């Protein structure tokens, strides 16, 4: 596998095609009114993207290890919460027709892996190759925490729509944030932090796993997909034609437009901001490299 991305190479072109396909499908789902009712983009494109893109950065063994860690920890955490209420709270899944791994649909693990990888990449970008700094104690701590915040930003936006509106899972005791409890987000942060932290420790022990990527485009790809996901909620809100009132498990009523509006507001100042921050950091880093190259040439 190549250690550097070649803009004209087949691998680079293939990843760009996959990136654009995911971007278009994610936005297209929101336009078609299907967003939140399934994860076809994740199922069919998110997994190959994460393995392909991650394989270039961490090698085949590295990204497979990330996948295994993510799946085991997320599934154990979800099943534990369904059975005991810790760490997310009391809830259960209702996705009939979807294969389950114990009490949890397999699509949930896929979402943790695909968007966990995107969050990890955005954190690495914002921290200027933060994954490479996991060989230091501070870097090993800061990178997973930053990725965890970026991951939970997404959950803040999609959970009320997927649970309260779509009833893909039911919060048995309701919750103050459009039917979702605070414990859900605390549990999400804890869960994703654990698997990010485990991966960071592995990178600290085996820093040689990380393969340098020399072009800006490599990091633009995950930013585009995460950003497209953010924008898709704005599109869904603007095109929303559902004025129902929803009653949650404890009898509290919520309006569908209100839930979508709340999610959109949160998205604008969390997910979209993280996308902007990653993009502007990447652009600044590129400008600094160009200036440095120009200075060296003059010398």
User: Does residue 38 have a pLDDT over 80?
Assistant: no
pLDDT band at 294 (very low <50, low <70, confident <90, very high): low
Structure tokens at 144: 């997973």
Comparing 221 with 6, the larger pLDDT belongs to: 221
- Render pLDDT for 80-103 as a digit per residue (tens, 0 to 9): 999 999 999 999 999 877 899 999
Structure tokens at 207: 């820093």
DSSP of 235-269 = HHHHT-----EEE-TTS-EEEHHHHHHHHHHHHHH
Q: What was the pLDDT predicted at 166? A: 92
Structure tokens at 1: 């596998």
- Render pLDDT for 204-213 as a digit per residue (tens, 0 to 9): 999 999 999 8
User: Does residue 296 have a pLDDT over 80?
Assistant: no
Q: With contact defined as beta carbons under 8 Å apart, do 274 and 150 qualify?
A: yes
User: Does residue 295 have a pLDDT over 70?
Assistant: no
Q: What was the pLDDT predicted at 1? A: 32
Q: What was the pLDDT predicted at 299? A: 57
Structure tokens at 172: 């048995």
Give me the count of residues in the chain: 299
User: Does residue 17 have a pLDDT over 70?
Assistant: yes
* Beta carbons within 10 angstroms of residue 206's beta carbon: 15
- Render pLDDT for 126-178 as a digit per residue (tens, 0 to 9): 999 999 999 999 999 999 999 999 999 999 999 999 999 999 999 999 999 99
The single-letter DSSP state of residue 102 is T
Structure tokens at 139: 């870097």
pLDDT band at 42 (very low <50, low <70, confident <90, very high): low
pLDDT band at 5 (very low <50, low <70, confident <90, very high): very low
Lowest mean pLDDT among 57-71, 229-243, 280-294: 280-294
Region for 178 from its dihedrals, namely left if φ exceeds 0, alpha if ψ lies in -120 to 50, beta otherwise: left
HSE-CB at 267 with a 13 A cutoff on CA atoms is 24
d(CA 242, CA 62): 44
Q: With contact defined as beta carbons under 8 Å apart, do 41 and 48 qualify?
A: no
């Amino acid at each position: 596998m190549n250690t550097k991305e070649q803009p004209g190479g087949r691998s680079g072109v293939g990843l760009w095609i996959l990136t654009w396909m995911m971007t278009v499908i994610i936005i297209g789902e929101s336009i078609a009114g299907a967003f939140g009712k399934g994860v076809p983009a994740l199922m069919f494109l998110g997994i190959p993207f994460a393995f392909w893109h991650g394989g270039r950065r961490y090698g085949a063994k590295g990204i497979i290890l990330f996948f295994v860690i993510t799946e085991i920890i997320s599934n154990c955490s979800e099943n534990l919460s369904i059975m005991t209420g810790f760490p997310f709270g009391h809830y259960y899944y209702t996705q009939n027709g979807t294969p389950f791994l114990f009490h949890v649909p397999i699509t949930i693990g896929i979402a943790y892996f695909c968007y966990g990888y995107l969050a990890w990449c955005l954190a690495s970008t914002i921290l200027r190759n933060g994954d490479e700094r996991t060989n230091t104690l501070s870097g090993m701590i800061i990178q997973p925490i930053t990725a965890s915040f970026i991951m939970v930003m997404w959950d803040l936006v999609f959970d009320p729509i997927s649970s309260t509106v779509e009833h893909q899972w039911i919060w048995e005791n309701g919750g103050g944030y459009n039917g979702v409890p605070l414990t859900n987000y605390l549990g999400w942060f804890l869960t994703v932090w654990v698997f990010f932290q485990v991966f960071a420790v592995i990178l600290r022990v085996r820093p040689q796993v990380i393969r340098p990527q020399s072009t800006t485009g490599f990091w633009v790809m995950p930013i585009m997909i995460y950003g497209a996901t953010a924008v898709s909620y704005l599109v869904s809100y603007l095109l929303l034609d559902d004025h129902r009132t929803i009653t949650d498990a404890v009898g509290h009523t919520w309006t569908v437009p209100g839930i979508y509006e709340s999610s959109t507001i949160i998205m604008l100042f969390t997910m979209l901001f993280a996308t902007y921050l990653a993009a502007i950091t990447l652009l600044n880093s590129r400008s600094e490299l160009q200036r440095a190259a120009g200075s060296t040439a003059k010398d």
